[in-house]
Amino acid sequence: MNKRKFLIAGNWKMNGGPLEAAELLEGIKNSKKEISEEVDVLVCPPFVSLGMAVNYLYDSEVQVGAQNFYYEENGAFTGEISATMLAESGCNFVLVGHSERRQYFAETDETVNKKVVKALSEKLAPVICIGETLEQRKENIHFDLVSDQITAALKGITSNDALDTVVAYEPVWAIGTGETATPEQAQEMHKFIRQELEKIYDEETASAIRILYGGSMKPGNAKELLSQDDVDGGLIGGASLSAESFTEIISIAEELS
């Protein structure tokens, strides 16, 4: 099977200050001495732990990303962090438009697009998060919604730049709930997203962009999910806070590579 290289990404959310982050990273290093070149691994700690994570992982294959930033260059935006600052801190990825950001911090498709543009201009790979709520799925508008989200997020992005983006399909009803999309549901939506990417760009670009699944991925369901043709990795919340379960998922991805 000619699949894309897996990306296994940990979204720590508001967990892991510098002390806890050091412990977790040490746990990851200890339980996974070597990571195959076939799999990319990313951790996304909170801002205050990014510097230590970058330093701690300088000789490791594990990459560091942030969970958010503000799209302006600099200036009077108290409390905000810019893409330039993230790049300067050693991040190569940044999550954009996570459903919790959309739900609690009023992020919209428009702000997501501004962030995608800005991240790419700073050579940060944006992990664009999209996905429907349970109500939207029940109303059977989930495909339309996801199509609108991805189209808006990529507005004005060239196909060349789109190759540096990652998409994460995260059904909101599966995030932190213990409920996971079935492998069939995930594959169905991932395939749909790839078709949408093909409509926006072309087949070659669409087939090169990685589409991660997120929503209660854990060692017990990772194999089935990652085995799907259009699932190119995972964005993992809860299970990424345990070095053991996170590295187990990495090992599963290695086995499937």
Q: Which residues bind ligand PGA (CB under 6 A)?
A: 11, 170, 175-176, 214-217, 235-239
Number of Cβ atoms within 10 Å of the Cβ of 156: 9
Q: How far is the CB of 238 from ligand PGA (least distance, A)?
A: 3
Write down the catalytic residue from 100, 122, 132, 170: 170
Active site residue 142: no
Between 122 and 170, name the residue whose CB sits nearer to ligand PGA: 170
Element (H, E) at 130: strand 125-130
Q: How far is the CB of 257 from ligand PGA (least distance, A)?
A: 21
Between 68 and 216, name the residue whose CB sits nearer to ligand PGA: 216
Write down the catalytic residue from 98, 100, 190, 196: 98
Name the residue number minimizing CB distance to ligand PGA.
237
Between 154 and 181, name the residue whose CB sits nearer to ligand PGA: 181
Q: How far is the CB of 217 from ligand PGA (least distance, A)?
A: 6
Give me the active site residues, please.
98, 170
